[in-house]
Chain A
Amino acid sequence: MTYLSMGGKGDFIWPAYLIAAIVMIALLVSSLRSARGQEARLAALRKARRGIPEDDA
Chain B
Amino acid sequence: MHRFANPTRFLKVANAILPWCAVITALLLGVGLYLALFHSPPDYQQGETVRIMYIHVPSAWMALFVYACMALSSAVALIWRHPLADLIAKAAAPIGAGFTLICLTTGSLWGKPMWGTWWAWDARMTSVLILFFFYLGYIALVNAFDDPTRGYRAAGILALVGVVNLPIIKFSVDWWNTLHQPASVFRMGGPTIYPTMLWPLMLMAAGFTMFFVTVLILRVRGEIAAAKIRNLQLSLARE
Contact = CB atoms under 8 A, between A and B. Distances in A.
Contacts of B157: none
- The binding surface of chain B is classed by DSSP as helix
A15 B113 CA distance: 13
A38 B102 contact: no
Interface in B60-109: 94-95, 98, 101-102, 105-106, 109
Interface string A11-47: 0110111011001101110011011011101100110
A23 B102 contact: yes
A34 B49 CA distance: 37
A44 to B, nearest CB: 10
Most chain B beta carbons < 10 A, residue from A6, A13, A16, A49: A16
- The binding surface of chain A is classed by DSSP as helix
Contacts of B51: 6, 13
Q: Chain A interface residue count: which class?
A: 20 to 34
Contacts of A38: 221-223, 225-226, 229
Contact of B221 (A6, A26, A39, A52): A39
A55 B224 CA distance: 11
Given A35-B221, A41-B225, A57-B231, A28 B215 contact: yes
Interface residues of B, number: 38
Nearest to A32: B218
B110 interface: yes
A16 B104 CA distance: 10
Interface of B: 8, 42, 47-49, 51-52, 55-56, 59, 94-95, 98, 101-102, 105-106, 109-110, 112-113, 211, 214-215, 218-219, 221-223, 225-226, 228-229, 231-233, 235-236
10 contacts: A9-B47, A13-B48, A19-B106, A20-B55, A31-B222, A35-B222, A38-B226, A38-B229, A49-B236, A57-B228
